[in-house]
Amino acid sequence: MVENVRSINFSFKHNLVLAKSALLNALGEDVKKEVSVIEDDLLLNTNKYEYDELMNNAFQNNPTWKTLEIAQKIFEEKVDQAKSGHLPKIGVMGSVNMINNAYKYGLVSEVNKFSWTVGVGMQLPIFNGFRTSAEVDEAQYRLEKIKSQKILLENGLGILVKKALVDFESASDQQAALRSAMESAIDNCSLNDRAYQSDLVELQDLIEAQIFEAIMKVQFYKAQFTYYESLAELELIVGSSQQE
């Protein structure tokens, strides 16, 4: 058993070196640089998240969704623009001319010194080879394509957010349960230790309690890692920190 534990310890050391190298690489540092990880109290996030609220945050922070919303508004205007081709074009024209001259004969007589004109023009499309109808259909098709992409993105985000939320809640419940189990194992080991000192239990009972304590600690730390990993995944999908 001792040799087996020593072998596991070598494996842990190997994984620790690889983890530190990956951390340095993620930070943009030289992998040859020494880095030490200190133990810190990781506070349990007790917030309860609602699916609808997470979806709203995901939509607000997703750049693709914002792009599709802008594209939809643009193509809605393009549809209206294309439909306007069926409508007549009306224009109002006018002009005013005034000659400021004291001479009042010939071309600068009182009648010719001031004049104005007003006109109204209208262009009515009668036949353009159904081009306008085709332009309307094209704009409408592009708009429907954008709407379809929004639906696909909405469904995809919904699945991702739902899965991340379920994983986070499951990891949270598991961590809380294993924390209680670990504390019970620690108390049990301490109790067996005092009992052994008083010759109330056998050495085998103490060793079993110590092994069980170690197992529960490992399971709790693993659950703690899974918890923060699922929280990070949820924040990545939603696009904002959930611990504020």
Burial of 88 (0-12, 13-18, 19+ CB in 10 A): exposed
pLDDT at site 43: 59
Distance CA 142, CA 144 (A): 5
Distance CA 237, CA 153 (A): 13
pLDDT at 135 over 80: yes
* Mean pLDDT for the chain overall: 86
pLDDT confidence bin for 198, thresholds 50/70/90: confident
Residues 62, 244: contact at Cβ < 8 Å? no
Distance CA 14, CA 40 (A): 22
pTM of the entire structure?
Answer: 0.64
pLDDT confidence bin for 165, thresholds 50/70/90: very high
Residue 34 phi, psi (nearest 5)? -85, 135
Domain with CATH 1.20.1600.10 in the chain: 48-82+128-238
pLDDT digit string (tens) for 66-92? 899 999 999 999 888 888 887 888 899
Q: How far is CA 226 from the centre of its chain?
A: 20
Name every residue whose Cβ is closer than 8 Å to that of residue 97 and which is 6 or more positions away in sequence.
Answer: 114, 115, 116
The CB density around residue 180, as the number of other CB atoms within 10 Å, is: 12
Q: CA nearest 222: which of 169, 168, 178? A: 178
pLDDT at 197 over 60: yes
pLDDT confidence bin for 210, thresholds 50/70/90: very high
- The dotted CATH code for 48-82+128-238 is 1.20.1600.10
